[in-house]
Amino acid sequence: MQGLDIFFFLWAASLIFFMKAGFIALEIGQFSHKNAAYHCLLKLLDLAAVFIGYLFIGYGIAYGFNYIVPLITGNFDAELGAWFMKMVMFAAAAVTIITGGVAERIKILPYFLGALIVGSILYPIVEHLVWGGGFQSLGINFHDYAGSGAVHLFGGLVGLVAAYFLGPRIKKYINGVPQALPGHNIPLAVLGAFILAFGWYGFNIGSAASVGDGLELTRVAIATTMALAGGIIGGALSSKNDPLYTANGMCAGLVAVCSGVDLFTPIGALIVGFLAGFQQPFTYKFIEEKLKIDDVCAIGPVHAMSGLIGVICAGIPFLLREQATSLVGQIIGAVVIGLIAIVGGVIIYKGLDIIIGLRVPKEVEETGLDEGILKVSAYTND
């Protein structure tokens, strides 16, 4: 790798890191102010858990344990260091999706341990299959340029499994009927969506193997932009102009475009983004009413379903600039990723629930986790 490529990777890693701020703002705005500070703590802890676990174990599972000693001792070359920095940020993005499903009711220790296990073992298994040569060695033609499947489908499904074992928030269901629990700060949530969208350019453009002549980078940038627009329109139409669904639609479009962002035509990316944004209310209703999962920040429609849409669409020829993928391969890859996420999520979060318990006490949940556990308040009346 040339010096410019090293800088390019570190630039991408920096933008992906900043997406964390977008996740925090988007999620906090969608639930009660009584749990905002606690959620910030969870976000900080899962970041540390992933960085540590990925250094000592995760990168080795994904790409080979021969890299672990150089990484730990600091005796690595610039190329290995740059790859690590970019890929550890992808791992952090996958794991932090989980928080949106378990918000307002999970205890700190099991959340931290879950993030540590997912970030150091479960996610790297998927990463190895997608980017470490696993699917290729099995003869499966699976294309996931920037992680619709590896990051978003995976993270969304693990988060839904964790939310299932946690159970719904106290006031979510009355006589089995789901109740709306409005967020406390819509502008904050929308700002978070914009921060995520900004970081997504690093997420997608930074997935190129090198700077090259810049053509691949510009194609990816334009496809990302069109998917963003499609997601906004899709979310606005299906939700009848609800601001949260529209903001989440922008994110859903960005999730979906990741898999084939290097191959989608601008119109193809617009269609993919629109589909992802449009499906949100229907997927959310299914998760809420049929599966009885309290998906606080809509990680099901925004990440899991949009990730699945993106993976499948990356195998549909008329959406692509060139036919370089296999629809069958895309479907097989999605199924394998989904199974790993669900089975692994069950083992991890059911296990943690049995061993130490996942959920805060009822009285703490009613009081609010900020006051009930941290003895602080995210907001004052001064």
Residue 324's pLDDT band, with cuts at 50, 70 and 90, is confident
Tokens found for residue 158: 């693990």
Is residue 379 included in any domain, yes or no? Answer: no
76 phi/psi in degrees, rounded to 5? -115, 160
For residues 24 and 188, is the Cβ–Cβ distance under 8 A? no
Question: Mean pLDDT throughout 117-140?
Answer: 97
Is residue 380 included in any domain, yes or no? Answer: no
Find the angle CA(24)-CA(27)-CA(33) to the nearest 5 degrees: 95
Q: Of 233, 265, 263, 242, which Cα lies nearest the Cα of 252?
A: 233
What is the per-residue pLDDT across 289-307, written as a single tens digit (0 to 9) for each? 999 999 999 999 999 999 9
What type of residue is 259? Answer: S
Question: Mean pLDDT throughout 249-270?
Answer: 98
Give dist(CA 112, CA 351) in Å, integer. Answer: 14
Residue listed under structure tokens 């490529």: 5
Q: Of 14, 20, 12, 21, which Cα lies nearest the Cα of 202?
A: 12
Is residue 381 included in any domain, yes or no? Answer: no
Q: Which residues of 67-100 are buried (b: 16+ CB within 10 A; e: fewer)?
A: bbeebeeeebeeebbbbbbbbbbbbbbbbbbbbb
Residue 380's pLDDT band, with cuts at 50, 70 and 90, is confident
Question: Mean pLDDT throughout 136-164?
Answer: 97
Is residue 32 included in any domain, yes or no? Answer: yes
For residue 165, pLDDT over 80 is answered with yes
Give the pairing type, strands 177-178 and 173-174: antiparallel
Q: What is the pLDDT of residue 323?
A: 85
Count of domains observed in the chain: 1
Q: What is the pLDDT of residue 32?
A: 95
- pTM of this structure: 0.96
Residue listed under structure tokens 């040339």: 2
What is the per-residue pLDDT across 263-279, written as a single tens digit (0 to 9) for each? 999 999 999 999 999 99
Question: Mean pLDDT throughout 95-100?
Answer: 98
Is residue 382 included in any domain, yes or no? Answer: no
**Residue 21 domain boundaries:** 3-374
Give dist(CA 379, CA 36) in Å, integer. Answer: 9
Residue 341's pLDDT band, with cuts at 50, 70 and 90, is very high
What is the per-residue pLDDT across 173-198, written as a single tens digit (0 to 9) for each? 999 999 999 999 999 999 999 999 99
Question: Mean pLDDT throughout 244-266?
Answer: 98
Find the CATH number of the domain harbouring 74.
1.10.3430.10
For residue 382, pLDDT over 60 is answered with no
Is residue 205 included in any domain, yes or no? Answer: yes
The CA dihedral of 160, 164, 169, 170, to the nearest 10 degrees, is 170
Question: Mean pLDDT throughout 67-93?
Answer: 97
CB atoms within 10 A of CB 194: 15
